[in-house]
Chains A and B, each alone.
Chain A
């Protein structure tokens, strides 16, 4: 297939996934922000939302320091602002532009999800939203990504177009999970004071919620929320679709599918396999021992490197 087509499919899925992640981040921040101060502590949730979204520099440039970030600013910046290239609105704009460029590679069902979302986006007012409106908006974003994934899964031929599209989604997803962990890793560290207090519970639960995994947690561990189990679930547990291990399971497989269809392995297959190995046959204690933060930042940088390898090998 055309390299540009593969590139568009890959980024189309990435942007849909990114919009979904942003919606979750906003959802969780909103919840935390309305939690009683005694439980929520003094940390500024809105600031860490910006940090998790990976747009801190742009935000501070526009609104000043993160510590003083206000809800309206963050919601508007992450959801709607044109100046933020990764705002949800921009994600949908870019997704649709990409979808238009590769219409022939999409099924009509996939196109309709993207096009309809783009049309509906215009129905949301271009001003500060009320809390109800914001909830509706976030639900709409999450539903769009569900429908898009569903359409992809149900209607696309299992060929290179499908695999590139899935690679984009998985790479974006693992990046997002890793960034949530990167911003919040300190609340998972055992040496922290007051471990087990209500503050921690809310923090841990909010991490789980930001990847829609609070219920899953209880099913998997049949235990109360503990920081090392949260880390285990999001990093190593393959049952959990947003864990780094599950994402790399899929990435390695999709890249292998591409390689076997084309009859040639390359650097991106090798890197994905070595990253998967790093997430396999390990336990979370190891990771804590060698340093959770180091592990996460190493992962984020290697994940970006895989993106660059895929681009070099196939998309240009």
Chain B
């Protein structure tokens, strides 16, 4: 693998303009001061309880995501290009989902193979012919971006169900402002604090009824969910109720919440619960997290669910590989943000290529997430590769493969001082009935281990504050 692109300095030691001040500052601050501030940040995170749960680990029920105090910087131009591309992508995603659940023109045109829709476990036949407010399905999207050189940002993944991480984006900024106020006086950093206002405005714009202030709630699976902190954080920032399934009930097709003053009607539910668990009458009957009858209230148009039911049909990794064509089909435009070249193992010639090149490729499950169940060829040993080969041959349609990208690196504080570590970026795109809103930046995830390309928090990845410079 070739030398990765570092966002601060090029190989000849030349520092990119956006990082000049930061680099100088880093050079002037003793290592132990940095270490001390990092500990302070950790202490604050722990004390205010910003933790996440790792599934399948008994004693580590609540863990901190490592926070790196060195910010990641994007220029105004870079962000401008990114945000236009993101808006384009999300627009196409929404049009695609609408089409899949109505006329299916894209299938008729032979652009996307039918079985990618009909055999997709995230496809919801209940949504066929169902109109949703303003034809919007993905109101809150998280699009994962990686960078390989000064000019190339790839979309790595679309998250169109319940993308998480935005609380870290906001808390990281908050902590940076507390710990390094001097850095903010040296840089003109675009604010992210308005995200909560933007989200609330977006959610309100989606209310099925007009004429009164909509009652917006956030629906959480509860405190044992890995992202519970984020759910409660958002409810707090938005000033809306954080409800669990048992707080809601449906009567005569209307959703109510149980309050100390009796039932109160609910208009918009920002649900952080997968489709499967939403309504035991419509989906998994064993779900105790959902609300019986919710789906019928939704189908009657009496409540808005964000994101809509069935958006998963657009964000698995097999559909991903068709995104450039999807954008061209609905918008008649070239994609502004390219896809990472992707081999679909469902196609015989692609599979052949992948099997011949496993040690160089990253192979992912079509429906996987969180960095689970993937093969990173260059860092895997022979036995792992052979084991994966068997899985791949047994069910090729379940996998896609991509070249191992040399993800860009950013300066990061590690044991030995400041060193480059690989990063990605998850911006959050809000689509309301009035407009699309994107706060500048997003969540930068960083692989804390040297050379590692896996940035997922479940795999030990950390996060950074992301700065978009205003000038």
Enumerate chain A interface residues (CB-CB to B < 8 A): 1-6, 97, 100-101, 103-104, 108, 111-112, 115-116, 119, 160, 164, 258, 262, 314-316
Contacts and interface: CB of A to CB of B under 8 A. Distances in A.
A2 B259 contact: yes
20 contacts: A1-B259, A2-B258, A3-B260, A4-B246, A100-B49, A100-B223, A104-B236, A104-B241, A104-B242, A111-B48, A112-B47, A112-B48, A115-B47, A116-B47, A119-B46, A164-B260, A258-B260, A262-B261, A314-B260, A315-B260
B223 A6 contact: no
A2 B49 contact: no
B48 A4 contact: no
A1 B228 contact: no
B247 interface: yes
A42 to B, nearest CB: 46
Given A97-B223, A103-B232, A3 B47 contact: no
Nearest to A3: B258
Contact of B260 (A6, A104, A116): A6
Nearest to A163: B260
A101 B223 CA distance: 6
Interface string B209-243: 00000000000001100001000100110000111
Name the residue among B242, B243, B244, B247 with the largest chain A CB count within 10 angstroms: B242
Contacts of B46: 119
B86 interface: no
A108 B44 CA distance: 12
A4 B244 contact: yes
A156 to B, nearest CB: 14
Interface residues of B, number: 21
A4 B241 CA distance: 11
B257 interface: yes
A111 B247 contact: no
B243 A2 contact: yes
A245 B261 CA distance: 28
A115 B48 CA distance: 8
A84 to B, nearest CB: 22
Contacts of B258: 2-4, 316
Nearest to B258: A3
A44 B297 CA distance: 62
A316 B263 CA distance: 11
Closest 6 CB pairs of A and B: A104-B236, A103-B232, A314-B260, A3-B258, A104-B235, A100-B223
Contacts of B246: 4
A97 B49 CA distance: 12
Interface in B143-192: none
B47 A2 contact: no
A164 B243 CA distance: 18
A112 B44 CA distance: 10
A246 B48 CA distance: 34
Contacts of A115: 47-49
Name the residue among A5, A103, A160 with the largest chain B CB count within 10 angstroms: A103
Interface in B33-85: 46-49
Contacts of A119: 46
A56 B48 CA distance: 37
A101 B241 contact: no
A218 B13 CA distance: 78
Name the residue among B241, B258, B260 with the largest chain A CB count within 10 angstroms: B260
A102 B235 CA distance: 10
A115 B49 CA distance: 7
A194 to B, nearest CB: 53
B236 A103 contact: yes
A4 B244 CA distance: 9
A262 B247 CA distance: 19
Nearest to A314: B260
A250 to B, nearest CB: 19
A111 B232 CA distance: 13
Name the residue among B48, B49, B247, B259 with the largest chain A CB count within 10 angstroms: B49
Contacts of B232: 100, 103-104
Name the residue among A101, A119, A316 with the largest chain B CB count within 10 angstroms: A101
Contacts of B223: 97, 100-101
Contact of B247 (A2, A97, A104, A314): A2
B260 A111 contact: no
Given A100-B228, A104-B232, A3 B259 contact: yes
B228 A2 contact: no
B203 to A, nearest CB: 16
Contacts of A104: 232, 235-236, 241-242
Contacts of A100: 49, 223, 228, 232
B260 A262 contact: yes
A130 B219 CA distance: 47
A1 B47 contact: no
B260 A160 contact: yes
Nearest to A1: B260
Contacts of A2: 241, 243, 247, 257-260
A313 to B, nearest CB: 8
Name the residue among A4, A104, A115 with the largest chain B CB count within 10 angstroms: A104
Given A2-B243, A4-B246, 17 more contacts: A1-B241, A1-B260, A3-B259, A6-B260, A100-B223, A101-B222, A101-B223, A104-B236, A104-B242, A108-B48, A115-B48, A115-B49, A119-B46, A258-B260, A262-B260, A314-B260, A316-B258
